[in-house]
Structure 1
Amino acid sequence: MIEALDTFLAVAAHGSFSEVARRQDVAVSSVTRKIDALEAELGSRLFHRSPRRLALTDAGEQFLPRARNILGELAGAKEALQAADGEPRGLLAVTAPTVFGRRHVVGALASFLRRYPDIEVDLHLTDQIVDLSEQRMDVAIRIGVLPDSDLCATQLAQVRLITCASPAYLARAGRPQTPEALMDHDCITVATPPAPGFVWRYAGVNRNQPLPVRGRYRTDDKDGMLQAALQGVGVLHMATWVVCDHLRSGELVALFPEEATAPAAPGTPGIHAVRLPGRSHAAKSRLFIDHLRAEIGEIPWWDRLPGTDPRA
């Protein structure tokens, strides 16, 4: 029954027997048999099946949250029994934005796994907002202003943006002495309108409205923006967690270092770890979030930049 419930949730999530079979590395007939057996046990059809489409029936829609709860309760009971042994164990599913995950979550997970040898981790890196319940994720790292929700959120850090450029660009174009001077420079910008917290805004400049900077290079990829700045394409306005190593090495120069220590304005984006309340694996989720917060530090290590005092 447990395997059948797992398979039911997987098929409901992916909308395909063959996709679930591929992910589980089994024959399609194996997936079909489990769903057939579950439908026979329940006495109801859970899916409308046709050559072109697979969709939940009304009974399937009603059963879906109950199936999640059944497996959640079972996993919670199992975790509680394991916790009695004193050592956390089992699977933890984590999702994070691609660039942040590669730069800051993978290293934290490595030390987390060394600390807790009986825990396994599935890490999913994506820039899409993942539905924790539907995708059965335990912890999600989210960057931005969190909307109101039922999720339990822990702030790991505030996002600090810093304006910088390569020495080669500054030698060629000159160093802007004020934010207003950026209007006369090639600025590396996004190809689509940025979220409100990520615009080129400076306290007391342009009536505190975003500067309408321009440049010849635009992309929505953070690494693409960073690499262009390193190649001297233009001025970059980027989160410190992206550019910190390049500022320390001198490959990039902070144009207005006070940005790294300026008080955060209302509505400043944050970096949060979120989890579903009452979900199984809650103990492991809390352990990982606490570990990640300790790895980042009360003052995030990426905000401790040359020429700045992060305590200001």
Structure 2
Amino acid sequence: MQIKALRYFLMVATTGSFLATARHFEVPASSVSRFIAALEEELGRQLFYRSTRAVKLTEDGERFYLQVKEAVGLLDAAAEDLAQADVGLKGLIRINAPVALGRRHVAPLIVCLQKEYPELEVELTLTDALIDPVQEGADITIRVGHVIDSGLIGRTVSGQRYVLAASPAYLETHGKPLSPGDLSDHACLLYKGDQGAQRWYCKRPPEETFKMLEVSGPLRSNNAEVLVAAAMAGQGLVLFPSWLFDPLSFREGRLLKLLTDWDVSASAEQMQVQILSPENRLRSRKVREVSNFLIEKIGSPPYWESL
């Protein structure tokens, strides 16, 4: 049984396409088809349903896929660890992160990472969509959200603290909210993503349960940084994670923090920043060390809380 045939099988199963697999490995599509056919003949089982519209795994193919993915992952991790036992990290690592967090924090950390490991190649993908790391081939996924049982393994880097802010010019004109109830009388600039318009919640420590607030305003956007810029221009209030703001905007007085005695949040549940990987990728020394590098550089509490 050829390892090349198994790699072709895994890629066809992942992409659902012989052509995409051929492009990935830079071989003719006929070569991929021939290897898969030989593998099916050797096993005495049909692994794929083929049609003009799609290529899908059979029931036997599903079972075989899970075992082959594990076996090839182990082989790759063993070969990688052996090759890099006495050298620094090198080769390609794929990292996925949310857009704003990735631009503001992950990208600068990758600059530091590659200065320390100049032979390391990084493919950084920024998207706010919740991807399947196995399907997309991501070695490390940085997620912001609720802790869920996703089948991924990793670490919670930190909880997420929200900051409510407005410009001095806005507050001079409209007054400063003294309690969460006052927010209904203010222009609240709301993020609107795939889940709809942002909702705001509040509680006074040490209360455990958040209460939803009635808020509205003149501007909504699917880009948080647009809304922060609008707040600095005096258009209203914004509520975002602490890591999203430029610390200079507070130091220089362009934004002021509001209701600091309250917990104001865009979620009724605790949100976390996590660094995660599929279990088979964590067998790779490269993935483990890059994950540890990011966790160490972010720190606990995260460095952005002290900026």
> If the TM-score is normalised by the length of the shorter chain, which range does it land in?
0.7 to 0.9
Q: Paired residue for 1:211? A: 213
Q: Paired residue for 1:296? A: 298
C-alpha deviations, 1:256-310, integer Å up to 9, x for none? 34569x9xx99521111122345454422221222112222333232225xxxxx
Equivalent positions of 1:88-237 (< 5 A) are 88-148=89-149, 150-191=151-192, 192=195, 199-203=200-204, 208-237=210-239
Equivalent positions of 1:205-284 (< 5 A) are 208-245=210-247, 246-257=249-260, 267-277=269-279, 279=281, 281-284=283-286
Q: Paired residue for 1:310? A: none
Secondary structure in structure 1 of the residue aligned to 2:220:
coil
Q: Paired residue for 2:8? A: 7
- Alignment coverage as a number of residue pairs: 299
Q: Distance in 1 between matches of 2:180 and 2:282?
A: 49
C-alpha deviations, 1:112-168, integer Å up to 9, x for none? 122123333232222232333344432211112211355333122221101112334
Q: Distance in 1 between matches of 2:13 and 2:55?
A: 9
Structure 1's 86 and 23: CA in aligned 2 closer, same or farther, altered over 3 A?
closer
Query: How far apart are 1:218 and its partner, in Å?
Result: 2.5
**Does structure 2 retain, via aligned residues, the 8 Å contact 1:82–1:88?**
no
Aligned residue type for 1:256: L
Structure 1's 58 and 298: CA in aligned 2 closer, same or farther, altered over 3 A?
closer
**Does structure 2 retain, via aligned residues, the 8 Å contact 1:72–1:280?**
no
Structure 1's 282 and 146: CA in aligned 2 closer, same or farther, altered over 3 A?
farther
Larger strand fraction of residues: 2
Q: Which moved more, 1:147-156 or 1:62-71?
A: 147-156
Where does structure 1 lack aligned partners over 5 or more consecutive residues?
306-312
Secondary structure in structure 2 of the residue aligned to 1:11:
helix
Q: Normalized against structure 1, the TM-score is what?
A: 0.82
Query: How far apart are 1:53 and its partner, in Å?
Result: 2.4
**Does structure 2 retain, via aligned residues, the 8 Å contact 1:75–1:280?**
no
Aligned residue type for 2:295: R
C-alpha deviations, 1:235-257, integer Å up to 9, x for none? 10111111133334443222234
Q: Paired residue for 1:308? A: none
C-alpha deviations, 1:203-251, integer Å up to 9, x for none? 169x851221121322343234334323433210111111133334443
**Does structure 1 retain, via aligned residues, the 8 Å contact 2:70–2:280?**
no
Q: Paired residue for 1:52? A: 53
Structure 1's 173 and 23: CA in aligned 2 closer, same or farther, altered over 3 A?
farther
Q: Which moved more, 1:156-165 or 1:293-302?
A: 293-302
**Does structure 1 retain, via aligned residues, the 8 Å contact 2:22–2:29?**
yes
**Does structure 2 retain, via aligned residues, the 8 Å contact 1:96–1:124?**
yes
Aligned residue type for 2:29: V
**Does structure 2 retain, via aligned residues, the 8 Å contact 1:157–1:300?**
yes
Q: Normalized against structure 2, the TM-score is what?
A: 0.83
Q: Distance in 2 between matches of 1:144 and 1:194?
A: 16
Q: Distance in 2 between matches of 1:304 and 1:144?
A: 22
Aligned residue type for 2:256: V
C-alpha deviations, 1:53-91, integer Å up to 9, x for none? 221122221211122112111112112312432533333
Q: Distance in 2 between matches of 1:7 and 1:259?
A: 55
**Does structure 2 retain, via aligned residues, the 8 Å contact 1:189–1:215?**
yes
Secondary structure in structure 2 of the residue aligned to 1:271:
strand
**Does structure 2 retain, via aligned residues, the 8 Å contact 1:160–1:259?**
no
Aligned residue type for 2:286: K
Structure 1's 280 and 44: CA in aligned 2 closer, same or farther, altered over 3 A?
farther
Q: Distance in 2 between matches of 1:30 and 1:166?
A: 62
Q: Distance in 1 between matches of 2:22 and 2:187?
A: 51
**Does structure 2 retain, via aligned residues, the 8 Å contact 1:138–1:281?**
no
